[in-house]
Amino acid sequence: MSTTAPDPLATLGALPGVADAVDSVRKAVDRVYGHRVMRRRSNEVTAEAALRGARGSAALAGADWNLEEVRRRTDFSGDGESQVIGAALRLTAEAGQLLSIWRQSPLRVLARLHLVAAGGAAPDDAVGRPRLAGEPVDEPLIEAPLPDADEVAGRLEGLSGLILAGSTAPALVTAAVVHGELLALRPFGSYNGLVARTAERIVLIGSGLDPKSICPAEVGHAEQGRAAYVAAFEGYLSGTPDGMAAWIAHCGRAVELGVRESTAVCEALQRGAA
């Protein structure tokens, strides 16, 4: 008699409150996709969502710039904040190009994301690969204990296996787990938060929940604030059912706030104000 291996992501999807978060996200996404502007000008909404998503992700990483300053600036090679903004913009532009590779080799995509984020700002031999034993990590927002290099390697393989195996879990659950696990591991020497949030974006796009990438969860994460982000992430780290459900719900709320942002963009385009 054959047995089917349990689907851990589907198990998370059955946690109390998660189904409500998933349903709320789906309804919000459906509403913005049904906006009349999306019929003719979806490319403009996608471009604006990318810009605002990058700004939000950078804000969580400590570079909280005004949107118009991000829009206006062309040189991001200056101080640390400029480099973070530049990294976030590059990652957002890259996300949609990596969907087919993500389905075949998530670890290759993560390496590519770090390479894109670093943009020559880190030593060449440390870019695009998980950190080695004793190598430092620059991630100021997350102060949780840092797993050692062997644990990182093992858990990355486990995460990759989950993605490759597929799951019946809703896209929100998978995206939240990918995001949370990468934050927990901080596998690279730098830009781990930016990479984690970009990976979340890739899952949401590739799953079909947000195929046009118009629902920037990064906006919602930033809008909820750094303190709320860290508190929700501590729930993920706890591994308890309540903690995991709280993290997934937090990520769901972030998507909904991203939807609200893009709905405002649609309304502005309809009025001819954007």
124 vs 209 pLDDT, higher one = 209
272 vs 206 pLDDT, higher one = 206
Residue 3 scores a pLDDT above 50: no
pTM: 0.94
Summary mean pLDDT of the chain: 93
A 10 A CB-CB count for 212 gives: 16
Q: Which residue blocks in the chain are alpha helix, DSSP H? A: 8-13, 18-33, 38-60, 67-72, 80-95, 99-104, 106-118, 149-165, 171-185, 192-206, 217-224, 226-238, 241-271
Pairwise CA distance, residues 245 & 259, whole Å: 21
pLDDT band of 125, cuts 50, 70, 90: confident
**What integer pLDDT is reported at residue 7 of this predicted model?**
87
Cα distances from 50 to residues 6, 153, 236, in angstroms, run: 36, 30, 26
Residue 4 scores a pLDDT above 70: no
Burial 89-128 (b: 16+ CB within 10 A, else e): bbbbebbbebeeebeebbbebbbbbbbbbbbeebeeebbb
- pLDDT (mean) for 36-57: 96
Residue 102 scores a pLDDT above 50: yes
**What integer pLDDT is reported at residue 250 of this predicted model?**
98
**What integer pLDDT is reported at residue 121 of this predicted model?**
57
64 vs 74 pLDDT, higher one = 64
Cα distances from 191 to residues 58, 80, 154, in angstroms, run: 10, 12, 20
Closest C-alpha among 152, 173, 240, 252 to residue 7: 173
pLDDT band of 2, cuts 50, 70, 90: very low
SS3 call for 186 = coil
- Tokens found for residue 118: 């670093």
* Residue 96 DSSP class: T
**What integer pLDDT is reported at residue 203 of this predicted model?**
97
pLDDT band of 76, cuts 50, 70, 90: confident
Calculate what percentage of the chain has a pLDDT beyond 70: 96
